[in-house]
Amino acid sequence: MNTTHEHPVVILTGSSSGIGLAVAKKLYRSNYRVIATAREQSLHRLREQGLPDTPTFLHMPLDVTNEVQREQVVRRAMQEFGRIDVLINNAGIAYRAVFEHMSRKDDYHQAHVNYFGPMDLARSVLPVMREQRSGRIINVSSVGGMMSMPTMSAYSASKFALEGATEALWYEMKPWNVKVSLVQPGFVRSDSFEHVYVTDKVRSDAMGEQVYEPYYRNMSRFISRMMRWSPSSAADVADVVLRTMKASRPPLRVAATLDARFFSLLRRFLPRSVYHEFLYIMLPRIWEWQPQAQELPAELNLR
């Protein structure tokens, strides 16, 4: 790692489960000083996983949407260690709903956790890293940040935003020797597909059981299968995060799973129109999604 300090200081968000927990375990066994954060009600999982609160591995509550808690984490890092070498923005959530079933409130919640919160935290550590003339910011994105899927419009919107802002930050921080990267996992073997947000409209709107029923049914089954059968585990992605953190010249975007690399190559080499049509016909049981043809009134038949 390109730092003159013997024991780099790392702030990690979303450390109580999934990829974040896997990263926390690897950091705990390595030569780092760490502030491992999670929402207050989830911090107990770190202790349960054999990661006690110690002078060099601190537990702190952090909801990334909470400005006061963000400031407390940065202040504690400086008080305890006097520097911040790495920020790993891992915390995130996912809504599972078609666009029509999302509300403005749902959209904002999704964006607040996946985009505004992480970038606000990055903004808080930048003055420290610029003064040090060194640092790393690693934003954990997703395949959903390079492509979108049905029932995941808001999730992809938040990750697209994270990717765009991170790309700009890569240019802005390069003169200061602050290295910025996006780690893009695809499907990861876990049960996290069961822990998604469902909107009020999905629960209450009869249309969710009629017009869009094939979307929800087939996409849920597809995502469940892909995550259960994925060859990549959270620990595999954590290895990618740590390699990126230690690399002397880390790339801006790092595909963390085989499917992420596949979709990246697909986007790069297929013409855009062919790419989208190909993905459309590959959607699970797409023939069930299409409504029965109906006769339009003459004044609306524009063909």
**DSSP character at residue 197:** B
- Among 15, 32, 142, 159, the active-site one is 159
Instruction: Quickly state the pLDDT bin for 195 (edges 50, 70, 90).
Output: confident
**Active site residue: 28, 95, 155, 215, which one?**
155
Q: Is the pLDDT of residue 2 over 60?
A: no
Let me know if 159 is a catalytic residue: yes
Q: What was the pLDDT predicted at 3?
A: 46
Reply yes or no on whether the pLDDT at 34 is more than 50.
yes
Catalytic residue (choose from 15, 124, 134, 141): 141
Do 87 and 166 touch, CB atoms closer than 8 A? no
Catalytic site residue from 16, 153, 181, 230: 16
Report whether 32 contacts 6 (CB < 8 A).
no
Query: What is the per-residue pLDDT for 204?
Result: 78
Q: How far apart are CA 211 and CA 209, in angstroms?
A: 7
Quick check: is 16 catalytic? yes
Residue-wise pLDDT tens digits, 134-191: 999 999 999 999 999 999 999 999 999 999 999 999 999 999 999 999 999 999 998 7
Is-above-0.85 flag for pTM?
Answer: yes
DSSP assignment, residue 186?
-
Overall average pLDDT of the 261-271 stretch = 95
Instruction: Return mean pLDDT, the chain.
Output: 92
Is the pLDDT at 303 greater than 90? The verdict is: no
